[in-house]
Amino acid sequence: MRKLSLMLLASATIGLAANPASAADLPRKAPAYIPPAPPPITWTGCYIGANIGGIFGNAKADLGFGEISTNNSGFAGGGQIGCDYQFAGGWVIGFRNMFDGTSLKRDRTLALPDTEGTNFGTASFKTNWFDTLTGRIGYAFTPGWLIYGQGGAAWANSSTDLSINGFGVGSLGRTRTGWTAGGGVEWMFTRGWSAFLEANYMDFGSNNHTVFDPTICSSGCAFNTQATATTVLVGVNYRFGWGKAPY
């Protein structure tokens, strides 16, 4: 009897020793994969993009004996390139160059002074393109939305063609220099891509000219031209060269 008890005790001891080893050999379930959080959005970096929209111009020619002015509208479209830097949380500063072609063109007619009242002058105003170089400052009120203001220098290639009684007396084409100011809102809809809506005002000042015509300007007629324009544009930017988020 004693021998049987010892045999049962030995068998139980061997079974207990083997059970942990068997459990250790069982496959264990791998922990669930948790993907890393995406990096925070930052506006720091450079970009290149395209835009399209409308342009609304005002042009005026003061001929001394009369004034011709016109308000017209057209299409504008082109591209832009620039860089931004985000600091102090949501503040963003940057610079941008934008170049757009336009379809602005308008003809106006003015009766000219003469003894018989039969002379008529025509002025054809046209803006071929504009270029702006601006600095901007904005605030990202949420990580993906930026509201901004901007201002700087502006250039426009414009021309004024004058004719009297159907005969051309002067074609004045030049690149004007002026200033621009405006602002808008930009949305980073996915990492690396953003879209914007903005409005800008451009003022190209006044310029003096002289034309000669044997009918009424045999000794030369001085006149002055002025031009301003407003743009409303939508565009998209591809952003690259990302920096580290400041928050």
Enumerate the domain spans of the chain. 45-240
Decide if pLDDT at 125 tops 90: no
DSSP E strands in the chain: the ranges are: 45-62, 67-87, 91-111, 120-142, 145-164, 167-190, 193-213, 217-240
pTM value is: 0.73
- State the Cα–Cα distance between residues 73 and 52, nearest whole angstrom: 14
Round the average pLDDT of the chain to a whole number and report it. 79
Q: What is the pLDDT of residues 28-52, one digit of tens each?
A: 666 776 766 556 678 999 999 999 9
Decide if pLDDT at 115 tops 50: no
Calculate what percentage of the chain has a pLDDT beyond 70.
63
For the residues 197-215, what does the mean pLDDT come to?
78
For the residues 131-142, what does the mean pLDDT come to?
97
Residue 60 has a pLDDT of 75
Calculate what percentage of the chain has a pLDDT beyond 90.
43
Q: What is the pLDDT of residues 63-102, one digit of tens each?
A: 665 666 778 899 999 999 999 999 988 999 999 999 999 9
CATH code, residues 45-240: 2.40.160.20
Decide if pLDDT at 127 tops 80: yes
Contact 233, 183 (CB under 8 A): no
